[in-house]
């Protein structure tokens, strides 16, 4: 599912005229294999295990708490972009 969603999103971004140079993700090579040959032959991949661990941590720390999961995942999206105003001090 991840390769399909990533490929679809990248195609939509490209259609809007934006150039994608780097894809930061976990170590899954299936996504890059599916995306690169089609429309992004120069796409570079960066591994980011730290944010994958952050994702897992947020899910496990909020087990059974849908509001906590939702809040944590919204903060994680901004966190990846170095915006920490929504991050909890306990993280």
Give the confidence band of 27 by pLDDT, cuts at 50, 70, 90. Answer: low
Residue 80 is predicted with a pLDDT of 67
* Cβ-proximal residues to 41 (8 Å cutoff; 6+ apart), any chain: none
The answer to whether residues 48 and 25 touch, using CB atoms and an 8 Å cutoff, is yes
* Alpha-carbon span 24 to 48, nearest angstrom: 6
pLDDT of residue 38: 65
Instruction: Give per-residue pLDDT as tens, 34-78.
Output: 776 667 788 887 776 665 667 777 888 888 899 988 888 888 777
pTM greater than 0.85 (yes/no): no
**Tokens 């920490």 map to which residue?**
84
pLDDT of residue 25: 74
Ranges of each domain in the chain: 2-47, 49-80
pLDDT band at 18 (very low <50, low <70, confident <90, very high): confident
């Amino acid at each position: 599912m991840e390769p399909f969603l990533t490929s679809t999103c990248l195609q939509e971004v490209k259609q809007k005229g934006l150039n994608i140079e780097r894809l930061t993700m976990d170590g899954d090579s299936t996504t890059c294999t599916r995306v690169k040959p089609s429309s992004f032959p120069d796409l570079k991949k960066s591994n980011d295990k730290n944010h994958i661990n952050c994702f897992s941590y947020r899910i496990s720390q909020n087990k059974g708490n849908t509001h906590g999961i939702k809040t944590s995942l919204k903060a994680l999206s901004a966190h990846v972009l170095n915006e920490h105003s929504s991050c909890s001090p306990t993280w």
